[in-house]
Amino acid sequence: MPKYWSYVAPTGMARLAVSLIPSEFLPVAEDGTYSGENLQMVKAISAWKGNNRNIVNEANEINNDLEKTTDMVIPSELPVLIFTTKEKNVNKDGKSNITFYQTQLDRISSHKLITLEGHHYLHWTRYKEMSEYVTEFIENYLKDL
């Protein structure tokens, strides 16, 4: 991400963007899911924090962070529940986000991978269903102890 993006928030460009195209910043959810006050707060936070220096630096560090975690593994005794989107994109090696997660979970004794229809922010639209899955996962894990 270019450094000049770090000037978006301080110059007021982020506030302008939020005013002109609020749909790009607000949660994708059914009407009534979020109160008017919640939506105003999301707009304010987006205008204030969107593309500030820290966000730009974080985006620029993604490759370094990925490299640092390449050899890390999840401890096999840790219960893991992962939600992901049903991606239709498969790379040239036949891999997708789902195959990546399956590989990570193979060595874990208590795990579940749940794929849901939706966009990246599944918790905006599938929170009720996700809550049920979490409750079920925890109950089943506790039964097996």
The DSSP string of 94-113 is S--HHHHHHHHHTT-SSEEE
The label of the residue with tokens 């874990």 reads 108
pLDDT per residue as tens digits for the range 62-97: 999 999 998 998 999 999 999 999 877 888 888 898
pLDDT per residue as tens digits for the range 127-137: 999 999 999 99
Query: What's the pTM?
Result: 0.73
